[in-house]
């Protein structure tokens, strides 16, 4: 029995027949899908099956994109952070300057009101404090060239600061009311009780000595200048009482007060002019009438015949 080997090439439908068949099948499927949506379920099923493969294929590109975005965002955030820090510093300095200008404007406004009340007031700026740390003095930028003279009272927007004690050509030295033994005649605003406020010189406070124990003074009272010294105008706020100690065993009460003015804070002050010539005091007139001592024998009055020769 003779067996023939299988043919080397399997013969079937021709390629043209296959192309024609599949072309007609594709056209039929497209018509059916377009008119009757016959392949929607098949399409959804294939999408579900292919989705994991699509995600796996897109993972490398997504990872590279996220890594590039991370470094880009990091660099941008660092740059923006530096710019924001610079802007914050600029804005903080500007805000501090605005606050300072507002505070100075308020002080100048109050001083302008005082200047309108006291004609001839000289506005000055505090340059620095005195070199001696044991004294309470300041130096202002007004001197002889601006008409400053020794003895002029100095105030700020809230009350009495001190008194000019030394005058230079372009600057003057002001002794504060808190300086030891610096006195100001005052009057209690509530009941008109007169007293003398003296600087303590130790802690920036003011003492009111020689007040009787029976004096009507309580904490919170306000002392203003009385004006009887012909130096400080009347009505300027000097100090506010902080404590009153009354002991029956003592003759005088111990009264401590806090200066109303910012004697160590403010930048601008006003120098008030001295009042016009005041009448001479009675004791001064009496001294003028007394004869000079050591002039030898008394001069004979020609109208008194009985005077000793």
- pLDDT for the residue 296: 46
Per-residue pLDDT at 307 exceeds 60: no
- pLDDT for the residue 277: 61
Model pTM score: 0.56
- pLDDT for the residue 194: 92
Residues 6+ apart with CB under 8 A from 250: 213
Q: CA 265 to CA 256: how far, in whole Å?
A: 20
- pLDDT for the residue 112: 65
Label residue 299 by pLDDT band (50, 70, 90). Answer: very low
Per-residue pLDDT at 55 exceeds 60: yes
Tens digits of per-residue pLDDT, 239-283? 999 999 988 888 899 999 999 887 777 788 889 888 766 555 555
Count of residues making up the chain: 309
Q: CA 304 to CA 110: how far, in whole Å?
A: 65
DSSP H/E element including 190: none
Q: Which residues pair with 172 in a beta bridge?
A: 140, 167
CATH of domain 122-271: 2.40.10.340
Q: Where in the chain is the domain with CATH 2.40.10.340?
A: 122-271
199, 263 contact by CB (below 8 A): no
Mean pLDDT, to the nearest integer, of 180-203? 89
More confident residue, 261 or 199: 199
Label residue 295 by pLDDT band (50, 70, 90). Answer: very low
Q: CA 123 to CA 304: how far, in whole Å?
A: 60
Q: CA 220 to CA 94: how far, in whole Å?
A: 39
- pLDDT for the residue 303: 43
Q: CA 167 to CA 135: how far, in whole Å?
A: 17
Per-residue pLDDT at 176 exceeds 80: yes
Q: CA 270 to CA 125: how far, in whole Å?
A: 8
Residue 192 DSSP class: -
Tens digits of per-residue pLDDT, 13-43? 788 888 898 899 888 888 877 777 777 777 7
Which region among 103-107, 155-159, 167-171, 242-246 has the lowest average model confidence (pLDDT)? 103-107
Task: Dig out the tokens for 193 from the structure.
Answer: 């009780």
Q: Which residues pair with 206 in a beta bridge?
A: 199, 257
């Amino acid at each position: 029995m003779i067996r023939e080997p299988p043919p080397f090439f399997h013969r079937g439908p021709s390629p043209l027949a296959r192309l024609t068949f599949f072309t007609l099948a594709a056209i039929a499927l497209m018509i059916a899908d377009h008119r009757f949506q016959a392949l929607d379920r098949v399409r959804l099923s294939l999408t579900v099956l292919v989705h994991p493969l699509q995600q796996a294929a897109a993972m490398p590109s997504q990872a590279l994109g996220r890594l590039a975005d991370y470094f880009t965002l990091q660099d941008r955030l660092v740059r923006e952070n530096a710019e924001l820090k610079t802007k914050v510093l600029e804005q903080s300095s500007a805000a501090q300057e605005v606050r300072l200008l507002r505070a100075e404007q308020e002080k100048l406004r109050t001083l302008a009101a005082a200047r309108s009340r006291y004609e001839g007031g000289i506005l000055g700026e505090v340059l620095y404090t005195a070199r001696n740390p044991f004294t309470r003095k300041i130096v202002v930028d007004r001197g002889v060239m601006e008409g400053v003279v020794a003895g002029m009272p100095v105030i700020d927007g809230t009350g009495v600061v001190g008194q000019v004690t030394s005058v230079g050509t372009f600057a003057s030295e002001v002794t504060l009311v808190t300086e030891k033994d610096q006195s100001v005649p005052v009057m209690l605003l509530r009941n008109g009780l007169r007293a003398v406020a003296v600087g303590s010189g130790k802690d920036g406070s003011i003492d009111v000595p020689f007040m009787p124990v029976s004096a009507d003074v309580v904490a919170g009272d306000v002392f203003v200048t009385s004006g009887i010294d012909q130096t400080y105008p009347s009505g300027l706020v000097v100090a506010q009482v902080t404590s009153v100690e009354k002991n029956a065993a003592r003759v005088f009460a111990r009264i401590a007060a806090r200066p109303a003015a910012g004697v160590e804070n403010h930048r601008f002050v006003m120098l008030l002019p001295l009042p016009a010539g005041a009448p001479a005091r009675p004791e001064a007139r009496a001294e003028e009438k007394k004869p000079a001592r050591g002039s030898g024998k008394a001069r004979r009055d020609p109208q008194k015949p009985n005077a000793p020769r």
